[in-house]
Structure 1
């Protein structure tokens, strides 16, 4: 156990991640900035996750156990336990490049008005193979509309925050006696975007990115189907909650944000090669708002074409067309 207070804390929520947790922890322990602690929050795992974490003999690593509270609950417990001036988040199946923590701390120290520092990500598959897809978001001048529509932070393993900024977004809901909440545990999905939006509309801190693709974000294709089935309903609940806090934001940007979310779900359905689902989300997106078509015409047109091709021609013809495009 560390006896001195570390500069940074890295929170790792972990639930039944025996297949990936060791690789994740190795990537974190190999950071070029070494004055940190890692807090693994075991969220009621029933596999070998705790055993694997306990096999690491490093004083910077400790594990906290709790009954299952979901991802937001694991994040909240980790933040509560964190002692660092800076707090980063890494899901237990993702990886950080060695320089990630150092670069974010440099960024935050150089910009005292920035509360959340983030960077882009590369997508990898379940086996760690690059998918050739990157998240390269807008980095500067981040507005509430940007977060609502496109969530430039991108995923749960991209952000490193200033502890003071975290404390400014904390609240204690009725019935909670153990600790504050930073992320809303009523959301099993969309908890991160809810947190970033609430952070943006209730604090004065800036959200800013740095260049580079510093996170390897793992995509589990087998889990996408169940997620797509419930994600839009959860996102809509999140949108409605933000609407109660700042009605003007949702009134102005809600239709476009809804269209972007539906376009995202369409692209996930295309990834699953489900033409009926993809085209249904595509039509809903276009009906909600034409803003994605105006603001991002190329990406939106490609999404429409892919979903329509998959719907009309089926999976075999779509895969052949996709291969031909890649060879061109």
Structure 2
């Protein structure tokens, strides 16, 4: 817990505490080993504006809720906990919409309870940009991966080419926004069906943000994404990732009517089937592999005949030859 008092944090804030500029939304579950670092990273932010921290624990059976209560006791004007008595996700209730409804800030910043921010100026940098560039609906920045042994990987984005201005098409194609890096205008309204019916909730939220305007990429690492056994997505099998991706992209295809967007989504569906076919080969499930590559081909033929799938077949054949 920070040594700073609540008064020391808010002393430079301009504006009414009851009208925060930013709502930091944090969803947590069974994060007793991580939640303190996340909350500390929020409280270390040096801003000229007021912010609130809405942290929702989904019925954790460890000490996560107890830790949140301790922080709320010290920072009662800033931290606004939502402590569920029992797990709601297992009942089909999503945490994000409930947290968004509580957020009253002009902007919403995201960070899950097992991730954290590393730069005290993160919020000020992103808010300054959005205040001065009304045509953008959000911004995101680079992030580092971290394993349980605290070893850090390369930048999640910085080692790849990326457009500084990201629209819906490029966001769907790249899927390169770390949740803890995202801040956006509080204008999303009710989250659409493609959010409600997917497990890729963070990805879906980012897509929703892009519906209202482009996003700015800031090439500066200001957050950490943890990869650990307790993470919902970090260590799940690749097959599960691809199955969820296929489901999500199909939901996007139904939702968006723009032909150019549908073309991008079709490429993603096809590539997910391709990668799934490789996963099945590696597990020596050849029949499933063949079924997936056939699905990939049929999608291209049915939806966009101009797209080429031959390279996928060539790669698959190469892999089969290597297995002999």
* TM-score, structure 2 normalization: 0.71
Q: Contact 1:9–1:87 (CA<8 Å) still a contact in 2?
A: yes
> What is the match of residue 81 of structure 2?
63
> Computing the radius of gyration over CA atoms, which structure comes out larger, 1 or 2?
2
Q: Contact 2:54–2:79 (CA<8 Å) still a contact in 1?
A: yes
Candidates 13, 21, 30, aligned match of 1:16: 30
> What is the match of residue 253 of structure 1?
264
Q: Contact 1:149–1:258 (CA<8 Å) still a contact in 2?
A: no
5+ residue gaps, structure 1, are: 174-182, 291-303, 313-328
Q: Does residue 31 in structure 1 map to residue 51 in structure 2?
A: no
5+ residue gaps, structure 2, are: 1-5, 7-15, 301-314
Q: Contact 2:137–2:213 (CA<8 Å) still a contact in 1?
A: yes
Q: Counterparts of 1:144 and 1:279 in 2: how far apart (Å)?
A: 35
Q: Structure 1 residues 29 and 135 mapped into 2: Cα distance closer, same or farther (>3 Å)?
A: same
Structure with the higher fraction of residues in helix conformation: 1
Candidates 105, 113, 124, aligned match of 1:102: 124
* Aligned alpha-carbon RMSD (Å): 4.0
Q: Does residue 237 in structure 1 map to residue 247 in structure 2?
A: yes
Candidates 214, 226, 235, aligned match of 2:236: 226
Deviation readout 1:19-51 (Å, 9 max, x if unpaired) = 110111111111122621111111121211100
Q: Contact 1:150–1:260 (CA<8 Å) still a contact in 2?
A: no
Q: Contact 2:155–2:221 (CA<8 Å) still a contact in 1?
A: no
Within a 5 Å distance, the mapping from 1:1-328 to structure 2 comes to 4-33=18-47, 35-56=50-71, 57-59=74-76, 60-66=78-84, 67-69=87-89, 73-97=94-118, 98-136=120-158, 138-153=162-177, 155-163=178-186, 165-167=187-189, 170-171=190-191, 184-187=195-198, 189-200=199-210, 203-220=211-228, 224-247=234-257, 248-249=259-260, 251-258=262-269, 261=272, 276=282, 288=296
Q: Structure 1 residues 39 and 278 mapped into 2: Cα distance closer, same or farther (>3 Å)?
A: farther
CA positional deviation for 1:254: 3.0
3-state SS, counterpart of residue 181 of structure 2 = coil
3-state SS, counterpart of residue 122 of structure 1 = strand
CA positional deviation for 1:54: 1.0
* TM-score, structure 1 normalization: 0.71
> What is the match of residue 12 of structure 2?
none
Q: Counterparts of 2:94 and 2:105 in 1: how far apart (Å)?
A: 19
Q: Counterparts of 1:198 and 1:251 in 2: how far apart (Å)?
A: 16
Q: Structure 1 residues 21 and 230 mapped into 2: Cα distance closer, same or farther (>3 Å)?
A: same
Q: Counterparts of 2:88 and 2:284 in 1: how far apart (Å)?
A: 32
Q: How many pairs were matched up?
A: 280
